[in-house]
Structure 1
Amino acid sequence: MKFKKIIIRFLSLILLMVTALSNTGYMAHAQEVNINSTNGDVVIFAEETEWRFRVVDGQIQKRLWSLTWGKWLTEWEWV
């Protein structure tokens, strides 16, 4: 009986750890909101991005950078 309780606790702990670790990749980001104080209008700004370029072995590659969030949005692509 004691062995059964230990097994159940161990499996519960494993399940809890797997659940906690699997949800770390999903993050929600709120968009930037600007409220105009004169008339109360809400203005939502779009995400700002720019293409970054580099030369590897004489060929050009590009990658999309998010200015809003400060992170890469794509992998390096051959142009």
Structure 2
Amino acid sequence: MKSKFLLMVILGTVLPFNSGVLAVEKGDKLEPNSPLIERAKIVEWRFKTVDGKVYKRLFDYTNQKWIGDWLKV
């Protein structure tokens, strides 16, 4: 009876740690033809004031680039 209890305690403490490590190792490997998940770009309007006139322009924070020209608001 004590040996079964001891075996259950050992298996209960060792198995959860081993299964977690195997899941991380398998998740890190990518297959050559696996599709990549593209995320949405982060784009916001930026504003400036010149001679009392307000202008806006889109800025792509993902690629750190301006999109288009300044537009008068």
**TM-score (norm. length: structure 2):** 0.49
Compare the two structures and name the one with the higher helix fraction: 2
Q: Which has the higher contact order (CA 8 A, sep 6+)?
A: 2
* Higher radius of gyration, 1 or 2: 2
**TM-score (norm. length: structure 1):** 0.45
